[in-house]
Structure 1
Amino acid sequence: MDVDHDAPRVVVGRIAGVFGVQGWVKVVSETDPPEGILGYSPWRLGLDQQSWRVREGKRHGKGLIVRLEGCADRDQAAELVGREISVPRDQLPPPAPDEFYWIDLEGLTVETVDGVALGVVDHLFATGANDVVVVRGERERLLPFVWGEVIQEVDLEQRRMRVDWDPTF
């Protein structure tokens, strides 16, 4: 299968280890529920984005184990350890209203409700309390992704996020 390197991709997990001697791998899933990752195929693994089809997978302890087509033994599985698992963005279901995939927010222009430009969404990360938006402009700002309090509007068509934030902070 050809790889479309220009298609937006979303990281949904990573290969964490090997399981047994028949090519199974341990997978850490970023999907909710974790088994949701098994519904996406093919997976693109690592920087080379090599395509792998999911043959079978199941829960094992607190994680998942997966058998990939073409991965027949422990040595082949060991070569995949540490690689990120990504899938095309268009394979993901549409988000619920007022929910967003992080990849869709990256690159948005961020401005205050008063129209002051703060920069562009560089990336997001999760904390225990809430997600955090990293905005890069004349300096870096960390904004809590709290809908209705800090985040006032996300307009994906206009590629803009409006926030209630003091530009001097």
Structure 2
Amino acid sequence: MATDRICVGAIAGAFGVRGEVRLKSFCAQPEAIAAYAPLWTEDGSRSFTLRLTRGSGGGLTARLSGINTREEAEAMKGVELFADRDKLPNLPDDEFYHADLIGLEVLDTSGTALGRVKAVHNHGAGDFLEIVGGAAMLLVPFTKAAVPTVDLTARRIIADPPADLGDD
């Protein structure tokens, strides 16, 4: 697959004065992030054990090993946390880790290349694939109707974007 580590969360900021952090979990069950420790920075230069401390306004707060002051916690804001792939659950056939979709070639149903998946976005209304091809950028809903085939082995996606997707 694409990487040995998968992004499972990010530090949203400091919480309190003793080094706790506000944590945004990208896991289907947010609290599951604690089971995937140690968590790593994107470049792999630092790892952390994690202990959830409480909920905070719909989010989570946590203690990370080596983070002991509010200043250290504030300096972590925006840091993404990655778990080793082998600690994560195997997904059903119709579910995918975003990291596995990034970079896949996207073809339409007639075989015409649309581009490659640059990112997967979710702003609350479901996932969208950001597909970039040449100078064009396309956002396609990641639904069975718009994306009928994802073939990780062949590293390609077949998409049937809605006809009005490019209309203003």
**Shared fold per TM-score greater than 0.5:** yes
CA distance in 2, matches of 1:127, 1:74: 29
**Structure 1 counterpart of 2:80, which letter?**
E
**Structure 1 counterpart of 2:53, which letter?**
K
Choose which of 6, 9, 32 in structure 1 pairs with 2:5: 9
**Structure 2 counterpart of 1:59, which letter?**
R
Choose which of 134, 140, 143 in structure 2 pairs with 1:143: 140
Deviation at 1:81, TM superposition (A): 2.8
Superimposed CA distance per residue, residues 48-100 of structure 1 (whole angstroms, 9 cap, x where no aligned partner): 7411122x213323222212222233333333233222223333211122111
In structure 2, the residue matched to 1:58 is 53
In structure 2, the residue matched to 1:125 is 121
CA distance in 1, matches of 2:68, 2:127: 39
CA distance in 2, matches of 1:119, 1:7: 21
In structure 2, the residue matched to 1:41 is 37
Report if aligned partners of 1:7, 1:88 keep a CA contact under 8 Å in 2: no
Deviation at 1:32, TM superposition (A): 2.0
Report if aligned partners of 2:53, 2:63 keep a CA contact under 8 Å in 1: no
CA distance in 2, matches of 1:64, 1:130: 22
Report if aligned partners of 2:5, 2:85 keep a CA contact under 8 Å in 1: yes
Report if aligned partners of 2:36, 2:87 keep a CA contact under 8 Å in 1: yes
Check if 1:80 corresponds to 2:71.
Answer: no
Matched length: 161
**Which runs of no fewer than 5 residues in structure 2 stay unpaired?**
none
CA distance in 2, matches of 1:42, 1:157: 29
Distance 1:99 1:42, change over 3 A: same
TM-score of the superposed pair, with normalisation by structure 1: 0.81
The DSSP-based 3-state class of the residue aligned with 1:39 is: helix
Report if aligned partners of 1:121, 1:133 keep a CA contact under 8 Å in 2: yes
Report if aligned partners of 1:23, 1:77 keep a CA contact under 8 Å in 2: yes
Check if 1:113 corresponds to 2:109.
Answer: yes
Question: How well do the aligned residues superpose, as a CA RMSD in angstroms?
Answer: 2.4
Report if aligned partners of 2:127, 2:142 keep a CA contact under 8 Å in 1: yes
**Structure 1 counterpart of 2:81, which letter?**
I
Deviation at 1:105, TM superposition (A): 0.8
Report if aligned partners of 1:71, 1:77 keep a CA contact under 8 Å in 2: yes
CA distance in 2, matches of 1:48, 1:100: 23
Report if aligned partners of 1:45, 1:84 keep a CA contact under 8 Å in 2: yes
In structure 1, the residue matched to 2:151 is 155
